[in-house]
Amino acid sequence: MRILVYLEKSAVRGGIEVFAERHVARLRDEGHEVEVLSSPSPVTRYPLSDFDEIVVHKCSDVATLEKFPPEKTVYYVHDHEPICPRGYAYTPLKRNCTRAGGVWPCILCAPACRSWKAALGRVFSQRRRIVAMSRFGKIVVISEFMKSRLVANGLDAAKIEVRPPAIRTDGAGEAVPTPDRASPSATRFARGMHSPFPVPQVDLLYVGQLIRGKGVHLLLEAMARMKARRTLDIVGTGNMEGELKSLAARLGLAVRFNGFQKNPQDWMRRAACVVVPSFWQEPYGLVAAEAVALGRPVVAFAIGGLPEACQGKATLVPPGDIAALAAALELP
């Protein structure tokens, strides 16, 4: 088959881009001829009729979305952006939103993270976006939770396939996410992720971005309430790093900020407990899934797709409940 893979921003190196990269590797390993197209290259760069299948991994622009032939397009939904003008299903008042996207109340919420012009454009094009998505032959999501959100926004459940990121462990015990199943290219990429330096023994571990929705500040507040004094290692960076360092110092907590690491699975393998304190609606929760696959104890808030990612093998507490989180983290 000749397949076109569209990815909006190939220069960005996030979870969606890694997922798409591995997907392309798998398709090529299977013998397909794959072309990759990303913004700012126009969709019309290739005659779309020449392709047997078109895979869209991210496309924010409705006009571009409408150019893909519906009968041969597979649309992957990785996050809330296709159904939320703000992109996060999370309001400026720091509350999760479960409404369907539309003019009201999105017109008041969206400008909080976009310019007025961009926000109004997304609010008033939301219906067009849903209609364009509804015409595609297949929509792929990473959790039943995300499927329920698309259905709530008017999409046909029969067209939506749930395909969680597959998790496997190689001979060294590393958890490696792959789009569907392991491919030689994905395996080569994964084996290069091990750290050349020894990872210290870790008590509590947080892996991820340091942004408000990830709830690291709630984890620090929970640690301050605990009777047992535990240490926390943080792997990741973000715009809350300075605020979190100040909070940890003020609360007198033993916290190490280790910055971005290419080998988060190696840190997980040496952790006594991996904590996922997200209080926004995680579409899935790959960190939790990887930690479970590695046999590590996991404590997480029961929100969004996290219960699915944990597969019944984690301690889940009510979202945002600091006292319950502290109790779950107490040493026996």
Per-residue pLDDT of the chain (332 residues; tens, 9 = 90+): 999 999 887 665 567 877 888 889 999 999 999 999 987 778 878 899 999 999 999 888 899 999 999 999 999 999 998 888 888 888 887 788 888 887 777 888 888 776 778 888 888 888 899 999 999 999 999 999 999 999 999 999 999 999 988 675 553 444 444 444 333 333 333 333 444 456 778 999 999 999 999 999 999 999 999 999 999 999 999 999 999 999 999 999 999 999 999 889 999 999 999 999 999 999 999 899 999 999 999 999 999 999 999 999 999 999 999 999 999 999 76
Same fold, 2-162 and 195-329: yes
Q: Give the whole-angstrom CA distance, residue 185 versus residue 31.
A: 13
pLDDT given at position 175: 46
pLDDT given at position 194: 45
The structure tokens 């190490």 sit at 256
Q: What pairing do the DSSP bridges indicate for beta strands 254-257 and 231-235?
A: parallel
Q: Give the whole-angstrom CA distance, residue 265 versus residue 156.
A: 37
Listed by start position, the domains of the chain span 2-162, 195-329
Question: Helix 241-251 to helix 216-225 angle, to the nearest 10 degrees?
Answer: 0
Other CB atoms within 10 Å distance of the CB of residue 44:
9
CATH homologous superfamily, domain 195-329: Glycogen Phosphorylase B; (3.40.50.2000)
pLDDT given at position 192: 36
Q: How big, in percent rounded to 5, are the helix, strand and coil portions of the chain?
A: 40, 20, 40
Task: For the chain, list the strands marked E by DSSP.
Answer: 2-7, 33-38, 53-58, 73-77, 138-141, 160-162, 166-169, 175-178, 202-207, 231-235, 254-257, 271-276, 298-301, 315-317
Please give the backbone phi and psi of residue 55, each rounded to the nearest 5 degrees, phi first.
Answer: -110, 120
CA neighbours closer than 13 Å in the CB half-sphere of residue 125 = 20
Question: Is 2-162 a CATH 3.40.91 domain?
Answer: no
